[in-house]
Amino acid sequence: MIEQLEELKSRALEHLGRLDALPALEDWRVTYLGKRSELNQILRNLGTLEPSARRTVGQIANDVKRLLESEFNDRRTQIERTLREAEVARERIDVTRPAKPTLIGQKHPITQTLEEIVGAFRALGYDVVEGPEVEWEKLNFDMLNIPPEHPARDRWDTFYVKSEGSLPLGQMLLRTHTSPMQIRVMEKTKPPVRVVVPGRCYRYEATDATHESQFTQVEGLAVDENLTFADLKGTLTAFTHMVFGPERRTRFRVDFFPFVEPGAEMAVDCHGCHGAGCRICKQSGWLEIMGAGMVHPKVLEGVGYDPSRYTGFAFGMGVERISMLKYGIDDIRLFFANDLRFLRQFR
């Protein structure tokens, strides 16, 4: 029996040493220390032994039991600690690790250029207003002195919107420019007027590197007593210096727009080559960036302003074009392609 206990003890300890999980440990406890364990059998059968043998065997059996119990507890503590350490290691957070980069959006290059343009005029004291993209024929054309036979009115140039009922202001259409807002502003306010109008315009147009059927303009209008072409030049030159740099020169040449007289086209000397000729200015040294002119007396009369008392100047520019010239972009379609490789360059 003593030999049996010794053998049991070394078998149990050897087994215990191999365990590293709690369920297996519990199985071990049932096997070696449970009610139906070999050791328990021996302890229960002690009564059948002679008194002297009973004492010796009893003592050894109890020693074995105590030993197995304490080894069991040690082993359990050890396994629990190992498991806890593994868990902590698994969940450890390295607070010194660089964060994953967060993807934050950015403004579209057109929005950036638009805000820059509008910001420049704001600094010059202009108000910013917006108008409807679906406009009346009368405001888009007639009141801007654009006659019925003008080619822009052709349905090949303009998106007309199906219009019904009596139409005192003509058909509705997607505005072809922001200029009709000149009329809306003047009809609502008395001089002095100083506004810029950013907005989207539409033309029925074949798309190529410099034309899109949808584009963005900024219109400007100033009306007051004693405004002259000198005010126009000064204002637009100041604007140019803010957007293209203080060293830029401007050039005004005669151009025709029905709603201004005289009309002009304004150019900036090329910031890419300072006038020498390069890819951006197509070797001309100049970038034409907007149309402008003194508001036509017929337009002033049409909105009830007295042209003998008030004069004004107006201007209009394409935001895509300015953005292309400023950044040397050679295809307008890039703005609408939603290609992140292009857009990310404007962070």
Cα–Cα dist 100/204, whole Å: 46
Cα–Cα dist 137/131, whole Å: 14
Q: Which segment (83-91, 224-232, 287-295, 327-335) binds ligand DAH by CB under 6 A?
A: 287-295
241 an active-site residue?
Answer: no
238 an active-site residue?
Answer: no
- 258 forms part of the interface with ligand DAH (CB under 6 A): no
Cα–Cα dist 125/8, whole Å: 100
Count of residues binding ligand DAH (CB under 6 A)?
11
Residues in CB range of 67: below 8 A, 6 or more apart: 9
Q: What letters, b where the CB count within 10 A reaches 16 and e where it falls short, cover 117-147?
A: bbebbeebebeebebeeebbbbbbbbbbbbe
Q: Which of positions 303-322 make contact with ligand DAH (CB under 6 A)? A: 314-316
Question: DSSP 3-state assignment of 201?
Answer: strand
41 an active-site residue?
Answer: no
Q: Which segment (5-13, 164-172, 242-250, 285-293) binds ligand DAH by CB under 6 A?
A: 285-293
Binding mask 209-238 for ligand DAH (x = CB under 6 A): ----------x-------------------
Cα–Cα dist 13/10, whole Å: 5
Task: Quote the least distance from Cβ 177 to ligand DAH, whole Å.
Answer: 3
CB-side neighbour CA atoms (13 Å) of 346? 22
Cα–Cα dist 225/216, whole Å: 30
Q: How is residue 333 annotated by DSSP?
A: G
120 an active-site residue?
Answer: no
Closer to ligand DAH by Cβ: residue 268 or 292: 292
Taking phi over 0 as left and psi of -120 to 50 as alpha, with beta for the rest, 293 belongs to left
Question: DSSP 3-state assignment of 179?
Answer: coil
260 an active-site residue?
Answer: yes
Q: Which segment (40-48, 204-212, 242-250, 288-296) binds ligand DAH by CB under 6 A?
A: 288-296
- 291 forms part of the interface with ligand DAH (CB under 6 A): yes
- Axis-axis angle for helices 22-33, 38-45 (nearest 10): 20
Judged by CB under 6 A, the residue of 177, 184, 296, 326 near ligand DAH is 177
Task: Quote the least distance from Cβ 271 to ligand DAH, whole Å.
Answer: 22
217 an active-site residue?
Answer: yes
Judged by CB under 6 A, the residue of 257, 286, 310, 335 near ligand DAH is 257
Judged by CB under 6 A, the residue of 8, 222, 260, 267 near ligand DAH is 260
Give me the residues that bind ligand DAH (CB under 6 A), please.
177, 179, 219, 257, 260, 291-293, 314-316
Active site residues: 156, 177, 203, 217, 260, 314
